[in-house]
């Protein structure tokens, strides 16, 4: 076997395994979705959607567009000089990435690359990929804080099963450790994660997985450290934009509750529903549109906080309509620009070596500046 082709074959095997897992999870999600519709009752869900109305749907479409703009602006701020992107570049690109991420089982693997490909006429593909990676790291950090706050609020404010409470506490501890460690690593500029993976690789552990994985982790470390050195004043604005993204999500849930509930909605309930929805989005990204699992999470929160039966499921279904609309817009943009999933995947593989080389060069340049 050609040594150069071995990593590609391993990658193909991993992707095929992910495809199988994604298909099985999608089937399970469809079954779960059918169960919740049956358990709640189609007529009750239909009444809730009808009560929400076309005007209500237009409002949540607008709110989600603002969320897209928030992440698009955060991405704009994540681009290294002398290159720059405009909002009219990043907003359509984010829509394209979200469309691919939502519709295909392995969309999470190509959504970031698709954003960079969508703006390749404005900046080199390597620059687009690095800026997307940087923005994603900020998003992950702020999302971690959001999830911790949601989990703490849930277990401190409501009575839940002891087993569920233990699981949530473990999740909180893990997230807090990762976030604290991440902040320390950025400030001190430690290559702790990549060095640990390199040590495991040299010792013979998980060699196939770490063949490329350890290099990708090193890549992300170099990008975020380089960005921290050159643009420390951008950290707070980018984090605030990511926080705005989540706050708009809470506003969306609150607005839906205000349209379909008989009583005045609680902001706390909207916060909990959005935080659980965000967690499900992260855990079950392989399932297109989070079919079934999103309804399950919303129903769990609804029952925990004492909402009327079926409200949680109705919220999840209404939000799915919003996802479908913006996914359709993203698909139109993909067709208009002549992009295909195959092309995006090929670009990602072709640029990976250049991507790493550029990362190492940026790191060396930053070291020389110090």
Classify residue 212 by burial, with Cβ atoms within 10 Å: 0-12, 13-18, 19+: middle
Average pLDDT, the chain: 82
DSSP conformation letters of 90-115: HHHHHHHHHHHHHHSTTHHHHHHHHH
Q: Judge whether residue 361 has pLDDT over 70.
A: no
Rounded distance between C-alpha atoms, residue 62 and residue 252, angstroms: 10
Which pLDDT value is given to residue 142?
94
pLDDT at 99 over 80: yes
| pLDDT > 50? residue 201 | yes
Instruction: Determine contact, residues 318/254, Cβ cutoff 8 Å.
Output: no
Residue 290: per-residue pLDDT: 78
For residues 60-99, b (16+ Cβ closer than 10 Å) or e, as one string? beebbbebbbbbbbbbbbbbbeeeebeeebbbbbbbbbbb
Q: Which residue has the higher pLDDT, 295 or 272?
A: 272
Helices 341-369 and 107-118 meet at what angle, rounded to 10?
70
The answer, as to whether pTM is greater than 0.75, is: yes
**Is residue 2 scored above 50 in pLDDT?**
no
pLDDT higher for 240 or 23? 240
Question: Rounded to an integer, what distance in angstroms lies between the CA atom of residue 310 and that of residue 40?
Answer: 5
Measured in whole angstroms, the distance separating CA 257 from the mean position of its chain's CA atoms is 24
| Cβ neighbours of 320 (radius 10 Å) | 17
pLDDT over 70 percentage in the chain: 85
Average pLDDT over residues 89-118: 83
| 166-196 tens-digit pLDDT | 888 898 898 899 888 888 888 888 887 788 8
Q: Rounded to 5, what percent of the chain is helix, strand, coil?
A: 85, 0, 15
316-337 pLDDT, tens per residue? 999 999 999 999 999 999 888 8
Write out pLDDT tens, residues 232-279.
Answer: 899 999 999 999 999 999 999 999 999 988 778 889 999 999 998 888
């Amino acid at each position: 076997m050609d040594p150069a082709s071995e990593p590609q074959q391993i990658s193909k095997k991993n992707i095929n395994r992910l495809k199988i897992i994604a298909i099985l999870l999608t089937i399970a999600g469809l079954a779960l979705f059918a169960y919740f519709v049956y358990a709640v009752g189609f007529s009750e869900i239909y009444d809730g959607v009808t009560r929400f109305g076309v005007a209500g749907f237009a409002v949540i479409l607008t709110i989600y567009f603002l969320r897209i703009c928030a992440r698009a602006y955060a991405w704009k701020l994540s681009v290294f000089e002398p290159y720059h992107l405009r909002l009219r570049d990043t907003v359509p690109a984010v829509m394209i990435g979200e469309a691919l991420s939502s519709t295909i089982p392995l969309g999470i693997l190509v959504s970031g690359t698709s954003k960079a490909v969508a703006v390749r006429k404005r900046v080199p593909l390597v620059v687009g990929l690095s800026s997307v990676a940087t923005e994603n790291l900020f998003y992950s950090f702020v999302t971690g804080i959001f999830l911790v706050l949601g989990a703490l609020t849930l277990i401190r404010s409501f009575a839940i099963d002891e087993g569920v409470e233990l699981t949530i506490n473990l999740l909180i501890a893990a997230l807090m450790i990762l976030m604290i460690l991440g902040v320390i690593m950025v400030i001190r500029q430690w290559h702790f994660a990549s060095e640990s993976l390199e040590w495991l690789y040299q010792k013979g552990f998980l060699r196939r997985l770490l063949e490329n994985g350890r290099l990708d982790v090193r890549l992300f470390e170099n990008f975020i450290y380089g960005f921290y050195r050159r643009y420390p004043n951008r950290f707070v604005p980018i984090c605030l934009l990511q926080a705005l993204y989540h706050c708009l999500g809470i506003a969306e849930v609150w607005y839906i509750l205000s349209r379909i509930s008989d009583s005045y909605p609680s902001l706390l309930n909207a916060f909990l529903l959005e935080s659980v929805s965000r967690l499900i989005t992260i855990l079950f990204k392989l399932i297109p549109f989070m079919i079934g699992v999103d309804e399950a999470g919303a129903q769990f929160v609804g029952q925990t906080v004492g909402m009327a039966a079926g409200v949680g499921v109705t919220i999840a279904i209404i939000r799915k309509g919003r996802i479908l609309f913006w996914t359709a817009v993203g698909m139109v943009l993909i067709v208009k620009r002549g992009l295909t999933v195959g092309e995006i995947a090929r670009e990602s593989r072709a640029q990976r070596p250049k991507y790493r080389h550029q990362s190492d060069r940026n790191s060396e340049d930053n070291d020389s500046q110090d």
